[in-house]
Structure 1
Amino acid sequence: MLSKDHLKEISKSIIEYGRPLEKSLFKKYFYDGSEQEIINELKKFQNVDGGFGHGLESDFRLPYSSPMATLVGIRHLSKLDKSEEAKEMIKEAIRYLESCFDKNRNGWFAVPKEVNNFSHAPWWHYNEEYEMSIIDENWGNPSAEILAYLYKYREYLKKLDVDSLIEYAIDYMENKEEFYSENEIFCYIKLYGVLPNKLQKRLKNKIQAAIEQLIEYEDEKWIEYVPTPVDFVSSPDMCKFEIKESKIIDNLDFIIKQLESNGRINPPWGESFYMEDLKPAYNEWIGVLTLNALTILDKYSKVEK
C-alpha cells in the first residue's frame, strides 16, 4: 500500500514535471478535482479539424492533427463522456479520423509526413521511402484502439463501416503468428474491452498468445523499457489473459517501491533522445508515467487516501 505521506511527496513530482493536463487529471482522480478542468486542458490540444496535436503525445511536437495524438485525446475524453462538452469533442475527433482513414491500409497511419518538420523522437520519424513511420510496421497500433472508440461511439460515424473494420482487425490477429509490438497488443486489449462476447472469444486466444511472447516476468528487468504484467492488466476488473496473479501483485509492489524510493517514475528508455526543442518532453513523460503508475495502484486499491 502506498501511504498518504508518500502520495503527498509524489504529488510534488506531478506539480513539478507534469503539464497542466496531468495536474488536472491528478487532482480529479486523487483529490476530487474538476472534470471541467480536464476538458479545458484537452481543448488546448484539439484543432479545428477535430483532431488533436500540439504535442499531446509528447515525443512529437507536431502542432497539426495526427491519428496518434487524436487517439490519446479520445482516450482521455472517453472517461468523461457523461459531459456534453466531452461528447462533442469526441464527435469532432471522430470526424477527423474518418477524414484521414487510409483505404489502402484499411486503417490509419500514426503520423503524417509533416511530423518531420518538427522536433520528434526517432521512432516517430516519417520514412519517405516507405511512406510511414516505424510505428506503422504493426497495423494495430494505432488502428485497433481507434476502432475501439469508433465502435463505442458509432452513432457519430458518417462514412466508415465500423463492423467491417472490426472484422478486418480480428482477421488480422487470427492470421498472425509472431508478435513484435506490445503497443499493438495494448491497442487490441482496448478493442477487446468494448466488443461483445462473441467477438471477444475470437480475439482472446490470440491476445493471450501475443502476451505470452512479449511479457517480461523477471522483476529485475522491470526497471527497463519492457512490457510488464500490469501494462497488460491495468485494473483488477480487466480480463487477465492468463497472466499470473502472483506476478501482477509483484509488479504492483515493484511500482510502490519505485515511487517510495524516487518519488516519481522516470522514462525507462532514458534521456538521450531529448535534446534541444524536444527536451521538455522528458519532463512531461515523468508527469505522465508517474500519474499512470498512481492510477494503476489506485485501481488495485493500493493507495491510501
Structure 2
Amino acid sequence: MDILRDAETYLRLHARLLDRYRFEALFRGGDRQRALDVLRTYQNADGGFGNALEPDLRGAGSQPEPVEVAFHILDELDAFSDPMVTAACDYLVSVTAEDGGVPFVLPSVRETPRAPWWETPDNPPGNLVPTASIAGLLHKHGVEHPWLGPATAFTWEAISRIKDETTPYTARAVVTFLELAPDRARAEAEYDRLKDAILATVSLDPDTPGAAHFPLDFAPSPSRLPWFESSVIERHLDALPGGRLPDGGWGINWTTWTPVVEHEWGGYLTVARLNTLRAYGRLS
C-alpha cells in the first residue's frame, strides 16, 4: 500500500488545481508559491474569500467561513506572512458584528447557490464558527491586526457561555482556539471545564457511519491539551488508511447536495488526512 502514490492518483483524477498544488508543495518538494498563487484567485477585492473555496458555498462573494479555509491552507504552507492575511483581516473588520465576532454566514448567501445548512437571520450575531478558529490561527502566527483583539474577547466570552452541551462544529472551533490561544492558564481552565462537553460531540468508534466527528478531526496533529488518550489516537490513525475511497483519496461523510462538492471536498480532505498521518509519524 503506497498511500502517497494512491492519493496523488486520486488528486490528479478529481481534485482542484489548488489541492493538487498543496500536495505537490507538501509531499513532493514542489514550489509552495504555486499553491499560494492559486489560493489568491479565490480572494476578492474586498479581501475576503469566496468563489467556492469552501465548496458548499458556491457564490463568488466573500463570506467569513472561507477565510478560515484559506487560513488553514496558509498555516500548512507556513505562509502567514503573505499579504492575503492582512487583506483578509481587513475584510473581517468590515463584516464583524457589534459583539466582536464574525457571523456564521452573511445574508448575502441567500443570493447564491449553497448547501441548505447555510442559513442566517437578517442581522446575524458573531459566532464561534468561524471566529474562534480564525483568531486561534492568527495568534499561532503572531499576527497583529485591529480585528484580533475584539475577536479574541468575543471568543473567550462566547466560550464562557457554553455549559453542559455544544455542537460538533462549535466544539471543533473551541478546540482550535484553546489549542492556540496565548493565555495558556485561561485555555487550560476552560479545557478542564469543557472537556466532557467537547468529548460528547466526538465519535470514538472509527466505524461510526454518517456525519460523525472523530478524534483526528479535533486533533489533526499532536495537541497541547490532552483531549484524547494516546490509545484512542492510535486506533483512529490505524483506521484512517482504511477509510479511503477505492481510487485512493478520502471522501466526505456529510450530505452531497450537488455533485461537484464531493470531489472538491475530497481533494481538500485528502491533503488534510495526509498532513495528519505525517504529523503523527505515519508517513515517511
Instruction: Assess same fold via TM > 0.5.
Output: yes
* Alpha-carbon offset, residue 34 of structure 1: 1.0
Give the whole-Å Cα distance in 1 for the aligned partners of 2:239 and 2:76.
27
Residue 189 of structure 2 aligns with an amino acid whose one-letter code is: R
Match of 1:107 in 2: 101
* Alpha-carbon offset, residue 125 of structure 1: 3.0
Give the whole-Å Cα distance in 2 for the aligned partners of 1:230 and 1:83.
24
CA contact (8 A) 1:233 1:240 kept: no
Give the whole-Å Cα distance in 2 for the aligned partners of 1:83 and 1:208.
30
* Alpha-carbon offset, residue 261 of structure 1: 5.3
* 1:282 and 2:250 aligned: no
CA contact (8 A) 1:6 1:260 kept: no
Give the whole-Å Cα distance in 1 for the aligned partners of 2:217 and 2:148.
30
Match of 1:48 in 2: 45
Distance 1:204 1:82, change over 3 A: same
Match of 2:204 in 1: 217
Give the 3-state SS of the residue equivalent to 2:166 in structure 1: coil
Give the whole-Å Cα distance in 2 for the aligned partners of 1:189 and 1:75.
14
* 1:204 and 2:191 aligned: yes
Give the 3-state SS of the residue equivalent to 1:24 in structure 2: helix
In the alignment of these two chains, the number of paired residues is 283
* Alpha-carbon offset, residue 202 of structure 1: 2.9
Distance 1:174 1:125, change over 3 A: closer
Identity among equivalent positions (%) equals: 23
* 1:95 and 2:85 aligned: no
Give the 3-state SS of the residue equivalent to 1:96 in structure 2: helix
Q: TM-score, normalised by structure 2?
A: 0.89
Alpha-carbon displacement from aligned partner over 1:78-119 (angstroms, at most 9, x marks no partner): 3445575x1x1101111111111111x431112222212221
Give the whole-Å Cα distance in 1 for the aligned partners of 2:70 and 2:132.
15
Q: How does 1:150-229 map to 2 (within 5 A)?
A: 150-152=138-140, 156-158=144-146, 160=147, 162=149, 165-196=151-182, 197-221=184-208, 223-229=209-215
Match of 2:110 in 1: 116
* 1:296 and 2:276 aligned: yes
Pick from 121, 135, 145: which aligns with 1:147?
A: 135
Alpha-carbon displacement from aligned partner over 1:12-68 (angstroms, at most 9, x marks no partner): 111112111110111111111111011101110011111111111000112111111
Give the whole-Å Cα distance in 1 for the aligned partners of 2:245 and 2:113.
33
Q: Report which of the two has the higher share of helix.
A: 1
Structure 1: runs of 5+ lacking an equivalent: none
Match of 1:268 in 2: 253
CA contact (8 A) 2:67 2:88 kept: yes
Match of 2:13 in 1: 16
Structure 2: runs of 5+ lacking an equivalent: none
Give the whole-Å Cα distance in 2 for the aligned partners of 1:225 and 1:190.
20
Highest RCO, 1 vs 2 (Cα 8 Å, sep ≥ 6): 1
Residue 207 of structure 2 aligns with an amino acid whose one-letter code is: E
Match of 2:241 in 1: 256
Residue 58 of structure 2 aligns with an amino acid whose one-letter code is: R
Q: How does 1:233-252 map to 2 (within 5 A)?
A: 233-236=219-222, 238-252=223-237
Q: TM-score, normalised by structure 1?
A: 0.84
